[in-house]
Structure formats: structure tokens, C-alpha cells
Amino acid sequence: MKNLQPKKAYDWLLSHSNALFIDVRMEIESLYVGRPPGVVNVPWYEYPDLQPNAARFADAVADEATGKDQPVLLLCRSGQRTLAAGKALEAAGFTNVQHVLHGFEGELDEHFKRSTLSGWRFDGLPWEQM
């Protein structure tokens, strides 16, 4: 799995028009916190169980993909869930997996706030909010 800083991930998406861009956050996070335009939501885990199921996740991504060789870019809140999700995809046979370091909101600052130090939103990349 390749690790891409948010701006590099955006540039990578622009140069890989066939890429599948997956938001692994729970649906409510993706809708209400915000998400990049065109991203497909396939949660790594979902409410109420909040337990990941690697096989179910890989199957859901496979349903969205044109094949396991299709380039995939993963995004979550801070870049942590995508590490496990990416490993699950690779274990399931996906061959071209990337993830966005620092995720959509980035790390916590000294005041326990996100989007102040790093992340997709902090870097001013395109996003929308429902």
C-alpha cells in the first residue's frame, strides 16, 4: 500500500481517472462532517456494531470496482482506519491500493481539534458537506 499526503493523493486522483476513491468512514461521518466530491462510501465499520469485518469490506469494495487491479485510494478521518482497510484489500487480492495520510480531518492539535494541522480539508482540497 502506498502512503500519500493529501495534496499528492489529489494529484494522483487527477492523473488516474479510472481510480476508485473510497471513504471508509461511517456513512454519518461522511455525510455530516464532509467528504471529497465523487468519493464512494464503503464503511470499514458501521453503527451500531462498530466492528470491522475485513471480508465484508473487501467484498463491498469489489462490488464497486471494475477489477482487483483497479487503482484504489482510501480516505478516513485521520489516516488510521485506512491502514487496516488497505491491508484487508491487499489480502483479498487488490493490487494497487493507496491511502491518504492524515485522512480527511488530520491529527488532533493541542486543543483536541482536527483540521488545524493536516488532512484533506486542512490542505484546502475540494470537499462538500450535506
Which numeric CATH code is attached to 2-100? Answer: 3.40.250.10
Predicted TM-score (pTM) of this structure: 0.95
Retrieve residue 102's grid coordinates: 492524515
Retrieve residue 8's grid coordinates: 499528492
Positions in the chain whose pLDDT score sits under 50: none
Retrieve residue 96's grid coordinates: 494497487
Spell out the domain ranges in the chain: 2-100
pLDDT at residue 61, as a whole number? 98
Nearest to 76 by CA among 100, 97, 53: 100
3-class secondary-structure state, position 19: coil
Where does the chain show beta strands of DSSP type E? 2-4, 20-23, 40-41, 72-75, 97-100
